[in-house]
Structure 1
Amino acid sequence: MNSRHTPTRRRLLRATLQTLGLGALGLASMGHATEPVPVLIAHAGLPKADAATIARLYTGRAIELGGQVVTVVNAATGSALRARFLSSVLQQDEERYRAYWTVRRHVGKGAPPRELASSSEVIEFVQSTPGAIGYVDASELRPGLNIVLRP
């Protein structure tokens, strides 16, 4: 393995470049994805789910998981985490997702999931609301969270 590419060297170089202000130019990424990684969490007792089931829940085509009625929440519109969730789990972008829910609401088939502003709000809501499901960035995971899907 070439020592020029070790994770420690990359972190050191990234920190140095960011200190110099070059991180804003994208030079600090050194080939690593800086995109958030959505992880689906649920209220205690809800079972694990596959991506297809989560997609049905977030599009209103299903309302139950493991026999329990589910309440799903989204990250705020425009957030990088939401964009990554939509693309990796629902295979949609923000525009298509909003258009989908506009039509569903117009024909009386429901309303889009509630949006929460931060990962801490999502975690609090999910832990305190029976049947709740949300997603947070993998870096925001805490011990004791019920992880139902890692896309």
Structure 2
Amino acid sequence: MRTIVLVSMLAIALLSTNVRAGVVIIVNKSNALAIDQKTIQRIFLGKEKKFPNGSPVTAINQSPDSAIRSEFDETILGRSSSQVSAYWSKLVFTGKGVPPAELADDKSVIEKVASNPDAIGYIDSNSVTDSVLVIEIK
């Protein structure tokens, strides 16, 4: 009986680690670079308008109600989705910023990033295709 319980607990633990694949940052294939997390935060919070190499950057968000957006906000931006929303509401209200464009899903983000050399976005790691480049976060 004890063995069955231990095996069951191990199986549950292993399965739960694979439920969420994780968020990855993607850019156009012509834009091979590594960026630190702080720079990604600055880009998606509207504080940085260029990639580290000096070329312009266009950030692409996912829809506010998507799970991958929540994961990105929490793991990459270090804020809850409601904090990010409040941040952008304040900037928009004061005329000091425009939030990144929002697309519906991973497929839409991939298509936009693949067609725009200045774009940066994020998707679920299970959705990665060879039409975009997953960048290394330094």
Identity %: 30
Residue in 1 that maps onto 2:42: 56
Structure-1 separation of matches of 2:37 and 2:19: 22
For the 8 Å contact 2:29–2:131, the answer to whether it is kept is no
What residue ranges of structure 1 are gaps of 5+ in the alignment?
11-26
1:31 to 16, 20, 37: 16
What residue ranges of structure 2 are gaps of 5+ in the alignment?
none
Matched residue count = 131
Q: Aligned pair in 2 of structure 1 residues 42, 123: CA closer, same or farther (>3 Å)? A: same
Structure-2 separation of matches of 1:38 and 1:108: 30
Q: Which protein, 1 or 2, shows the higher relative CO under an 8 Å CA cutoff with sep ≥ 6?
A: 2
TM-score, normalised with respect to structure 1: 0.77
Q: Does 1:40 align with 2:25?
A: yes
RMSD value over aligned CA atoms? 2.6
Q: Does 1:82 align with 2:69?
A: yes
2:26 corresponds to which letter in structure 1?
I
Residue in 1 that maps onto 2:81: 94
Residue in 2 that maps onto 1:107: 94
Structure-2 separation of matches of 1:105 and 1:143: 35
Q: Aligned pair in 2 of structure 1 residues 53, 37: CA closer, same or farther (>3 Å)? A: same
